[in-house]
Amino acid sequence: MKKQIIILIVIVLFVSGSISAGPVDIKQISANANWFVCIDCEKFFKSSLGDILKTQLAEESNAQKLSSFEKLFGFNPVGDIRGVMLYGQGDDREKAVVLIEGEFDKERLLALVGLNPEYKKFEYSGIEIHQWLQENKNAGGETEKQITYGCFYNDNLIILGSGLPAFKQAIGVLKGSAPGAVSDVFNDDLLDNAFFQVAAEDVAKTAGDKPKAALLRQTDKLVIAVGQEEGKISSVVNLTAKSEETAGYFKKMIDGIIAYLALASEDEPIMAKLAQKIQLSGSGNEIQIRLELDSVLIGQIISSRITNAED
């Protein structure tokens, strides 16, 4: 099988939501985690950005793909997934866990996983655990094999992970036998109606030694929230740099990006409008970036990106 259940992570992260309907319940996150990502599906699809996505998905080619997906896996990734939460420790994939909440055809999903030639199952803490071999392409295009663990914590909640210790820890957190997160960063609610949230502390650990992550290695804490407030899509980024000097460098870089977008007024006037909406503030080693967009401008930006891609 080319499409194992782990592939669902990629799909649902773009179209689904967090396990809790309101603010993130950090008790669902392991105390070992230093970052999380979650998206609230119900809030997202009630937003103007969600309306735009639903319009795109209603197009015939996309609708056919969704229909084929639903026939194969037994659920609709747009309508049946209520929530997704991804958390982990550093850049170690084996310490990352995904929780997916929704309406599933449990028997069909287990049957698909069971087709894997390396499939096994065992019991842990009263829950049936499923194990299979996942093949992935690395950055060099080479195929890598990775053991994946999955279970139905209950009929509506799937847990996925690549490392057995972290996977078992996730079960323990939900059962209350293992400690949940207590990070102040995870409690930083930037928007009351956020449908997308990211929080990370000790960001350098997560960034690793990847060349493209050089800026993140100079960051201690990062919190991002996107939601809809008073009819506008609002996004807020709070960043804590390792030093005031580094924060000053970040601000200059962001100012440069804003200036670049503003200069695009002749070729891409939409980008110039976007630049005018970006608000940069902060003091010391703290930086905040705010952006508010109405649905009309969002639609124009998306249309311009699609047009440029076709050209």
Q: Does the residue 181 lie in any domain?
A: no
pLDDT in tens, 179-235: 888 777 777 666 777 888 999 988 877 776 666 677 778 888 999 999 887 778 888
Q: How far is CA 98 from CA 64, 152, 233, 256, in A?
A: 27, 12, 26, 36
Whether residue 258 contacts residue 294, with contact meaning beta carbons closer than 8 Å, is answered with no
Domain region containing 230: 186-310
> In this structure, are 231 and 280 located in the same domain?
yes
pLDDT in tens, 247-271: 998 999 999 988 888 886 666 677 7
In single-letter form, the type of residue at position 77 comes to P
> In this structure, are 285 and 156 located in the same domain?
no
Q: How many residues does the chain have?
A: 311
Find all residues with CB under 8 Å of 81, minimum gap 6, and list them.
12, 15, 16, 17, 41, 75, 100, 101, 102
Strands 127-137 and 120-124: antiparallel
CA dihedral sign of residues 18, 218, 183, 7: positive
Confidence band, pLDDT 50/70/90 cuts, at residue 299: low
pLDDT in tens, 138-193: 666 677 788 999 999 999 899 999 999 999 999 999 999 998 887 777 776 667 77
Q: Does the residue 253 lie in any domain?
A: yes
Find all residues with CB under 8 Å of 6, minimum gap 6, and list them.
134, 148, 150, 160
Is this model's pTM higher than 0.85 or not? no
> In this structure, are 169 and 23 located in the same domain?
yes
> In this structure, are 248 and 130 located in the same domain?
no
Is residue 23 pLDDT above 50, yes or no? no
Is residue 119 pLDDT above 90, yes or no? yes
Burial pattern 110-123, b for ≥16 Cβ within 10 A else e, equals: bebbeebeeeeeee
